[in-house]
Amino acid sequence: MRGDEKLLSQIREEVTAKARAAKEASRLLGSIRTSLKNLALAKIAERLRANSGEILAANEKDLAAGRKSGLSKTLLDRLALSSKRLEEMVRGVKQVEELADPVGEVMAGWRRPNGLLITKVRVPFGVIGIIYEARPNVTVDAAALCLKSGNAVVLRGGKEAINSNKALVAAMRGGLEEAGLSPDCIELIESTDRASARELMQLTELVDLLVPRGGAGLIRTVVETAKVPVIETGVGNCHVYVDRSADLEMARRIVVNAKCQRPSVCNAAETLLVDEAVAEDFLPVCLAELVGKGVEIRGCGRTRTIFPAAKEATEEDWGEEFLALILAVKVVAGLEEAIRHINKYGSKHSEAIVTNDHSHAQRFKEDVDAAAVFVNASTRFTDGYEFGFGAEIGISTQKLHARGPMGLAELTTMKYLVEGAGQIRE
């Protein structure tokens, strides 16, 4: 018991000290010039390259530990770095360097009848906390995006990647120093005990925003535990609805793309809804192609009558983000039922209709409650690059502050500047 308390107090001390250092660093970072932030990003890229030996050796330690503790192949693959992957990370930093600086934008401005001039300007949050799993690439991505948007960052990554993260952060802090900035703009929590994440989630005075990145369990825990404001990201139970008026050839291409092009990501489709009027024409061809690509079909009763190779879908399947080559399929009475199904089971991420009926497209766009609603296009386009924003910190699936792909602008807040000549309120 005494030992536990001592550990807890050490963890609290580390987290608080690092968050406080980040807060202090953020005060300067918020108003420095773009050219200096870009210089720091360039130095970070250089240092990541220069330190590649140490970084890969540290990663090898994580991999060895992971193999010993029986991490799955998928997790080991996510954890693994290589010269090529490191080079991709460096390229990512260079891309952030090239993005426009969101800070300082005058978003609106007006003069009041009493002569007060009000401007609404974009400013950084201050300190952003990122809680994530064992993906070392998130360490570099998140740090670069926070830096460019003028925010200090406190990183709390998964224990499986701790050695890699230490090496990456050491390189990045070196880059900051070479650019003449405080290394505390990028802080890594080295304790990977659950308590360190919990601690970070309570620091309302020091941390302005938390962005969890990872699986549904991690995100739920952060949303339910944090006192610091959180942006919920990433869980995608996305649907494609094929309307009776759809170009069925177009529908087939969209469904196959949304399911198969990269099944492990949040904007991949998990459920296909088909209007009963076209189910018999559409399903045999489309589902056969999907099966040919290795997709497991879990269908409703009517789907299984039309396509007997389908397994039976359970109630759970409608709510599940498979992130794998599995597709739930349901025949619906029409647009109404499709919208009801999506609003009931969807995760408010990306939803698509394939239709040639204008009023159906309008209804779907209005009534489906999701960050991105597609008409005649694949759900796979919900992505910072595909939207034209550049790199993103995640896809927000909640409604406060940011929805959909979160680029640099979404990592900022605003303030009102009000200039007068002595005005007082009567």
Per CB under 8 A, residues contacting a copy of itself are: 27, 30-31, 110, 112, 116, 118, 125-126, 204, 208-209, 223-224, 227, 229-231, 247, 250, 253-254, 256-258, 261, 343, 361, 365-367, 369-378, 380-382, 386-388, 398-401, 403-404, 413-425
CB of 358 to a copy of itself, least distance (A): 11
CB of 425 to a copy of itself, least distance (A): 4
Looking at beta carbons only, is 61 or 340 nearer to a copy of itself? Answer: 340
CB of 114 to a copy of itself, least distance (A): 8
Tokens coding 130:
């990122």
Amino acid at 108: A
Residue 357 neighbours by CB distance under 10 Å: 15
DSSP-based three-state secondary structure for 211:
strand
Q: Which residues are registered as beta bridge partners of 239?
A: 271, 351
Tell whether the torsion through CA atoms of 75, 80, 85 and 86 is positive or negative: positive
Distance from C-alpha of 329 to C-alpha of 295, rounded to nearest angstrom:
12
Looking at beta carbons only, is 60 or 321 nearer to a copy of itself? Answer: 321
Looking at beta carbons only, is 76 or 118 nearer to a copy of itself? Answer: 118
Specify the DSSP element, H or E, that contains 252: helix 248-260
Looking at beta carbons only, is 168 or 372 nearer to a copy of itself? Answer: 372
Looking at beta carbons only, is 34 or 305 nearer to a copy of itself? Answer: 34
Tokens coding 4:
């536990």
Distance from C-alpha of 263 to C-alpha of 421, rounded to nearest angstrom:
60
Looking at beta carbons only, is 191 or 396 nearer to a copy of itself? Answer: 396
Residue 235 neighbours by CB distance under 10 Å: 18
Residue 396: name the closest of 173, 248, 235, 185 by CA. 235
179 contact partners, CB below 8 Å, separation of at least 6:
36, 39, 40, 42, 43
Looking at beta carbons only, is 287 or 368 nearer to a copy of itself? Answer: 368
Label residue 388 exposed, middle or buried (CB < 10 Å: 0-12, 13-18, 19+). exposed
Looking at beta carbons only, is 264 or 416 nearer to a copy of itself? Answer: 416
Tokens coding 101:
């600086």
CB of 426 to a copy of itself, least distance (A): 8
CB of 342 to a copy of itself, least distance (A): 12
| DSSP 8-state class, residue 268 | S
Whether the CB-CB separation of 178 and 47 falls below 8 Å is answered with yes
CB of 143 to a copy of itself, least distance (A): 20
Distance from C-alpha of 59 to C-alpha of 164, rounded to nearest angstrom:
5
Distance from C-alpha of 174 to C-alpha of 72, rounded to nearest angstrom:
33
Looking at beta carbons only, is 82 or 423 nearer to a copy of itself? Answer: 423
CB of 67 to a copy of itself, least distance (A): 34
CB of 369 to a copy of itself, least distance (A): 7
CB of 220 to a copy of itself, least distance (A): 9
CB of 251 to a copy of itself, least distance (A): 9
Rg (CA), the chain: 24
Looking at beta carbons only, is 273 or 371 nearer to a copy of itself? Answer: 371
Residue 222: name the closest of 207, 242, 238 by CA. 207
